[in-house]
Amino acid sequence: MIFITAKFRVLPEHADAWPSIAAGFTSATRAEPGCLWFDWSRSLADPNEYVLVEAFRDGDAGAAHVGSEHFKEAQRTLPQYLAETPRIVNATVPQDDWSELGELAVRR
């Protein structure tokens, strides 16, 4: 799978509204057949920063995402709410879901 983590620093005046601002892009991406997950979290250290964790089935699914109309729309509309270009880590990993963190195994 293609595993991506991106940090979005949002302008302070738009930080609280970011989930609503990105809602259309988020729902359209989650509906893509090759999208495994597309999850936003707000940083505990910086309230103006959102972290996006996303995964796509394979390179073809990732390419379909980048070529989609909703991605192009996001390229046109989302930058106006950002303080800087998002930062990204992008890797191909040989799995198709989350693995368990064995070091913190829950045993009941």
Q: How confident is the model at residue 1 (pLDDT cuts 50, 70, 90)?
A: very high
Q: pLDDT per residue over 72-108, tens digit each?
A: 999 999 999 999 999 999 999 999 999 999 999 999 9
* Residue 78 to residue 66: CA distance in whole angstroms: 15
pLDDT, residue 59, reads 95
* Residue 51 to residue 56: CA distance in whole angstroms: 17
pLDDT, residue 30, reads 98
- Long-range Cβ contacts of 63-68 (<8 Å, 24+ apart): 64/32, 64/34, 65/29, 65/32, 65/34, 65/35, 68/28, 68/29, 68/32
Q: pLDDT per residue over 10-67, tens digit each?
A: 999 999 999 999 999 999 999 999 999 999 999 999 999 999 999 999 999 999 999 9
Identify the structural domains of the chain with CATH numbers, from first to last.
2-92 (3.30.70.100)
